[in-house]
Every structure is written in structure tokens, then in C-alpha cells.
Chain A
Amino acid sequence: MTNAIDVVNVSKVYRRYARKKQFATLKSALLKGSLIRDLQPDETFPALRGVTFSVPKGCTYGIIGRNGSGKSTLLKCVAGITKPNEGTVKVNGRISALIELGAGFHPEISGRENVFINGIMLGLTKREIHRRFDEIVEFAELKDFIDAPVKTYSSGMYMRLGFAVAIHVDPEVLLIDEVLAVGDQSFTAKCLDKFAEFRRRNRTIMLVTHSLDLVEKFCDLALWLEKGKTLAEGEPKRVVASYLLDVGNAEEAEIAKTEVTKAAQVARDNAAGISNTAGQPSDVVNTPANMFQATEGRWGSREVEITEVTLHGPDGQVSHVFQSGDGMEVRVKTRVHVATNDFVFGVGLFNADGICCYGTNTNIEELQPDEISGEGMIGFQIANLDLVEGTYKIDVAAHKLDGYPYDYHRLLHTFRVKSRTKDVGIYRPRHRWNFTSNIRFKTP
């Protein structure tokens, strides 16, 4: 089988010019004699670094990656719009790139004339466009407006016409850059049908997208690009899974970073609390009027102090991102300045909307306090975190039986629950579906 696209060791460096020089004029360049020097870049930014892959003929190839990972640059290199600084790109067959729809439209002239001009730009001959014209207009759903100037079109009409022309070029290799977000549901479905038809006719498609579902459903192969490098290539399900794992880790790092700043805040508060050795309720004034109001903060007298709160995954490691259904343990370290027999520990879970998903404390669960002193640790174990995907926050508190706060951490600790199922709500009860034998589903 021959390859439709061969990309060998492609690197692309974008030059960045300092702001001042960007606006340097010919005159000043000539006067200072710095024409050549000003044309030298101050800084370079590698968009692609040695990317190699090939797309077999008839294959639908998906490229995924974060924003700024070089996906679009790669597509432009394959399309020939920009040249790579290193490496070679070889494409066999007529190529059409859907990078921006309706890129060549002239607003003053009619849709009809624009179809011709756009078609010719994309490589069709006049006769071919004549033959496909009705089909294009039909596809774009613009029969009544085709003779109106394009400037009167809504953005949806504009996009649809652009897409219709591009898709009817009937290229052997089609490059698509995140353009499926066009029009309503039915139009998107029509586009997908058209892609399916392309696949049936053994055309090659290279797709850049953030829609991982699309990659899993439509693509034969996938490539994951990160900071201009290939991180994974091959079977879409596997590539998407490792990409998702990495996205999870990045989120983890992101939350961990904010947690660190919060920990620093807590440490500062601790120091303040210690200096206040008289045991006076230093922060009692900060107690919010409404305890159910979801405002972040920390208050309390610190006679019993919460020095650290960490979340641990099933493996016991500190973590901030959990798979739905996994186990989680909240570990709370305490330090007691004045030994007491009047204490309650509580934990609450809130979702991003500030709705309390669950709350409990040792008093509600009828644990009688006896004595607390020195340093200690509390573990709050959740066997299965049966929550839907989302960001959640945790309340941790130590207080007297009458509610007098020792140390109250309200919404200071964040974690994320990930799930491949896009179910809705807050709580995911363990469930299964049962059907009688006359109700059947396709086996995946």
C-alpha cells in the first residue's frame, strides 16, 4: 500500500521579533544601516521538532494535542502553505485543506460567483464547478440566497457555503482543521456523512481536532502532538487514552500548584496562630454569618489546629485527580495547643456550584470525645468516590460540641473527579441496566 502523506523529520521554527523592531521602518533601517540586522529574529520558537509519520492511502488520520502543540502548523506544512525549516513532506494526489472556511470569499459579490472563485482557488476547473454547482448549493442549504452578496450572509451561512465548496472539491487527500463546529446538529451530521462517504471511496483524510470522540469513532490512526513532538502514534483508542491520562496529570499538577500556595497561606496562618499564645480566638471575628454560604476561608481559635490536609489516592500517594469510583482518603494533621475533651472533627464535600454533596462529623456519627493532645493525624477514608466528573472542594473542621470553631478550613482544598462517562448530576449510584431479551443493543 502506498502512502498518501509522508512526513519525515519535519521541524518548523517560528521567528519572533521584538515589538520595537517589528515596527521598525525601512527608513530607519536604511539610516541606521541595520537592515540586515533588523531582519534577524530575536527569538525563535520551535513549533514542530522532528515530526515523522506517514498516512497510508485511504486512512483517516487524527491529530490531537493541547492548544499550541503544533497541530495546525503541521497541517499547514502538509498542505504546503508554509514550508518546514527541516525535513520533507510528500503528498500523493490532489490535496484540499479546510483550514478556514470561505477564506477567499469576496463580500461584495454574490454567493454564486464566490462559489466559482473559491472552487477555482481550491483547484477545480470551471466546468467541474458547473457540474457540481447544484449539489454544492443543495449541501449548503442556501438555495434562496445564492444570488445575494456574501456580505449579507450570516456567519453560519458563510461557513456552510465555504464547507460545501471545499468538500465538493473531491480531493484525494483532505486536510481538516477543527472546522466541524459549523452550523447546527443536522449540518454537522451531514458533514460526518460526507466524511464517511470519503472513507468509503478510499480517500485519505487528515484531521486536526479537539474532539476525542471523533478521533475514536472515525480515525484509523491517531497521533498525539505535544510541544511540537510526537508523543504517541497508532491505534486511536490507545493514543486518546494516553493523552487523557496526561491531561489528568497536568490538571493534577495545576491543582497541586494552587494547593501549594494555599498550604503556604495555611502555614502563615499557623505562625500567626502560634504567636497568639494567649489562646484568644484570633479569627472568630471572621466566622461567616451563614455557615452554609460557600465562601472560602479559614477561621477559628486554633486551640486545636489543623496543620495539613492532604488527599490520597488508592495507592496511598498524594493526589488531586481521582477516577470516579476510586477510593480516596482525606488525611488531616492536627496540633493541639491546649489539651481538651471537647472536640469534633468534620468533613464536607462541595461541588463547583457550592452545593454540599456530603457532610458529616464525629458528633453526628456519635463518637464521644475523650481527650486530644499533642500532634495527631485523622484519616477519613472514602471507599468509592461515586461522583460524576467535575471539580470538588473539601471542608475540614475542628470545633467544640457547641459549634465554637477551633479551626475551620472552608473550601480550601480542591480535587477533581474524572470520568469517561458523560453522565450528569452529582452522585453516581452504583448501577446496572437490565433488559428483557426483546430489547437489544448493538454490541460495541
Chain B
Amino acid sequence: MFTNLAALRRYRGLIQTLVARDLKARYRGSVLGFFWSFINPLMLLVVYTFVFTVVMPTQHPVDIRPYALFFFCGILPWTWFSSSLSESANVLISGGNLIKKVLFPAEVLPIVSVLANMMHFFLGLPILVAFLIYYQRPLDPTELLWFPVIVLVQFIFTTGLALLLAALTVHFRDIKDILGNLLTLWFFSTPIIYSMQMAPEHYRWVLNINPMTHLAISYQEVLFHIGPHGHWKWLMALLGGSVLVFLAGYFVFDRLRDSFAEEV
């Protein structure tokens, strides 16, 4: 398992190229091209604004105003996470031709989808910066140092789950269908459109065992809330947990590896 993991370094070039291909191919043929990376979260914002002002008017508490900014802090990383997972679940099957005909480590494919979505996440950040400037929010540079750490934790966690899902979907195709619903549930169990404080007290434990909660809160603390990053202990714990998730995911993937060429 670890030798395979080490051998993966040789495929850096391939991963790089495939990520680039993915980004190029995704919006090829669409008029707005990669602007969709900005537009998609904007449209989501419009949807939720409509829901919370017209359909069921809600008074947002003071601590999550301006709401647009708060929303973006959560939705951008969430999009990275959820798209990575739903793509990974499919990636070995759609890339079946490659696995059967070309010699290369299959884990490259889910890792590429996580990385490609990470690039989209980065491409979406300017919109967040634009809102920060618009609302004249001060950013603490020392707090910003935490940002790469949060991204790293999320990357490790997402990749672990992506590997696990990719490997299992080869044998259980219905994961693809279940996953969409699970991700919706997961989305609403993560403080993205609401804040942790808005959640009923006796349900907070549910949110607390959700790793994405701590990632979302970390992003919000660093980019949105003024004041020191108070959530770093949770983040560090999550880093440890993510490494375990990654190892478990990679372990399952490695065990099932030989069956891919026959099953896809």
C-alpha cells in the first residue's frame, strides 16, 4: 500500500496534465467558459436569498451579516467537496477504457477530480475577495495563514472519501444514486446557510460530529468573523481524523485495485 502511494509521485506530471485537461474540457463549447466558476455560486446565492426573503422571510442574526459574504465562505468549499465526491463516484466507470487499456495507477482519476474541483474553488475565490472589498471587511493577515491549512485538511479528507467512493462504486453502482441525496442531507447538516449559533442547542452534537462543520466554521472564522481564529483545535483534530480517513480510503482502494480492470 505504501509503496503504491510512494510510486504515485512519479505520476505528478500525469495528474497535472489531467487536471488541466479537465479544466479545459469542462467549459469547452460553453459561451461563458470558466466564468461559470463565478456564476454558479452567485446563482446559488440568488436562490437562497430568494428563499430567505420571499418564501420564508428570516431575520438573519447580526453575526452572519452581510449574509452574502457569510454564505460564500461556506458554499465555495462545500461545492469543491460535493462535486469532488459525486465526480469520483463515477470516475472509474467513465474512465473504464483507460483502466482496461492503459497501464497507470487508477487512483490518479479520483485524485484528479478532487484537484480539478479544488482549482474551481480557487477560481471562485476572487468573487469572495470582491465581496470582502465591497463590504470593506478587514482581513487579519496572521489569520489568513490558517487558510492553506484549512484547504490542506479539506483536501486530505475529500481525497480519502473520494478514493473510498470510487472503489466501492465499481462494485455497487447504486452508490451514485444514493450519494446525491446523502450530499443534500450533508449540506443542510453543515452550517453553511445558517450559523452554528442558529442551530438548536440539543442538536449541535450532530453538527459537531460532522467534519464539514469544522471546515466550514474554520473558513468562516478566517474569512468572515472578525477576531482570532478560535477553532484551530478542532481543525487540528480534524487534520488527524482526515489522515485516518485518507489512509482508510486508500487502503480500500488498494485492496480492490485488481478488480477494477475486470469490473468496470
Does any Cβ of A come within 8 Å of B29's Cβ? Answer: yes
**Could you say which residues of chain A place their CB within 8 Å of the CB of B201?**
none
Q: Which of B18-26, B73-81, B185-193, B208-216 contacts A (4 or more CB under 8 A)?
A: B18-26
A103 touches B28 (CB 8 A): no
A39, B28: Cβ atoms closer than 8 Å: no
Task: List residues of chain B with CB within 8 A of the CB of A82.
Answer: 258, 261-262
For residue B101, give the distance in angstroms from its CB to the closest CB of chain A.
4
Instruction: Give the residue of A25, A83, A106 whose beta carbon is less than 8 angstroms from that of B21.
Output: A106
A360 → chain B closest CB, angstroms: 57
* B173, B174, B178 interface centre (most CB from chain A within 10 Å): B174
Shortest beta-carbon distance from B16 to chain A in Å: 9
Q: How far is the CA of A122 from the CA of B173 in the complex (A)?
A: 29
Please tell me if the beta carbons of A39 and B171 are within 8 angstroms of each other in the complex: yes
Type the 1/0 row for B158-177, where 1 means its CB is closer than 8 Å to any CB of A. Answer: 00000000001001111100
Per the bound structure, the CA–CA distance linking A113 and B23 in Å amounts to 13
CB of A201 closer than 8 Å to a CB of B: no
CB pair A76 B21 closer than 8 Å? no
Tell me the minimal C-beta distance from B254 to chain A in angstroms: 12
> For the complex, is A268 an interface residue (Cβ under 8 Å from B)?
no
Q: Are B98 and A15 in contact, CB atoms less than 8 angstroms apart?
A: no
A29 vs B17: C-alpha distance when bound (angstroms): 39
**Interchain nearest-CB distance for A178 vs B (Å):** 13
| Structural contact, A120 and B25, CB atoms closer than 8 A | no
* Chain A residue with the shortest CB-CB distance to B18: A117
- Interface size of B by CB at 8 A reads 27
In the bound complex, do residue B13 and residue A126 qualify as a contact, i.e. CB atoms below 8 Å apart? yes
Q: Is A308 an interface residue (CB 8 A)?
A: no
Complex Cα gap A120–B20 (Å): 13
The answer, among B21, B25, B97, B102, for a CB contact under 8 Å with A122, is: B102
B24 adjacent to A95 (CB under 8 Å): no
Q: Measured between alpha carbons, how far is A149 from B104 in the docked complex, in Å? A: 24
Question: Is A15 in contact with B262, judged by CB distance below 8 angstroms?
Answer: yes
Contact B103 A81 (CB under 8 A): yes
Is residue A442 within 8 Å, beta carbon to beta carbon, of the partner chain?
no
Whether A109 lies near B28 (C-beta < 8 A) is yes
List of A residues within 8 angstroms of B168 by Cβ: 26
Distance, CA A25 to CA B173, complexed state (A): 7
**A68 sits at the interface (CB 8 A):** no
**By the criterion CB–CB under 8 Å, are B261 and A25 in contact?**
no
Interface string of A69-108 (1 = CB under 8 A from B): 0000000100111110000000000010101100110101
Query: With A103-B97, A125-B13 given, is the CB distance from A25 to B262 under 8 Å?
Result: no
The answer, among A83, A97, A117, for a CB contact under 8 Å with B258, is A83
B100 at the interface (CB under 8 A from A): yes
Query: Would you call B103 and A97 a contact (CB within 8 A)?
Result: yes
Residue of B21, B97, B178, B261 contacting most chain A CB atoms (<10 Å) = B21
Residue A196, interface by CB 8 Å? no
In Å, the complex CA distance between A15 and B258 comes to 13
- Contacting residues, chain A, for B261 (C-beta < 8 A): 76, 81-82
**Contact call A120/B103, Cβ cutoff below 8 A:** no
User: Does A358 reach chain B (CB closer than 8 Å)?
Assistant: no
Q: Contact between B103 and A104 (Cβ–Cβ < 8 Å)?
A: no
Are A100 and B262 closer than 8 Å at their CB atoms? no
CB of A116 within 8 Å of the partner chain: yes
A19 proximity list for chain B (CB < 8 A): none
Q: In the complex, A149 Cα to B97 Cα: how many Å?
A: 19
Closest partner residue, chain A, to B108 (CB atom):
A121
Chain A to chain B contacts (Cβ below 8 Å), 11 pairs:
A27-B174, A80-B103, A81-B102, A81-B261, A103-B102, A104-B98, A108-B25, A108-B29, A113-B24, A120-B14, A120-B17
Tell me the B residues contacting A by CB distance below 8 Å: 13-14, 17-18, 21, 24-25, 28-29, 97-104, 168, 171-175, 178, 258, 261-262
Minimum-distance CB pairs A-B, first 4:
A103-B101, A26-B172, A100-B101, A108-B25
Q: Which residues of chain A have a CB within 8 Å of any CB of chain B?
A: 14-15, 25-27, 29, 39, 76, 79-83, 95, 97, 99-100, 103-104, 106, 108-109, 113, 116-117, 120-122, 125-126, 149
19 additional contacts (CB under 8 A) given A39-B171, A100-B97: A14-B262, A26-B175, A26-B178, A80-B103, A81-B101, A81-B103, A82-B261, A97-B103, A104-B97, A106-B21, A108-B28, A109-B21, A109-B24, A109-B25, A113-B21, A120-B14, A125-B13, A126-B13, A149-B28
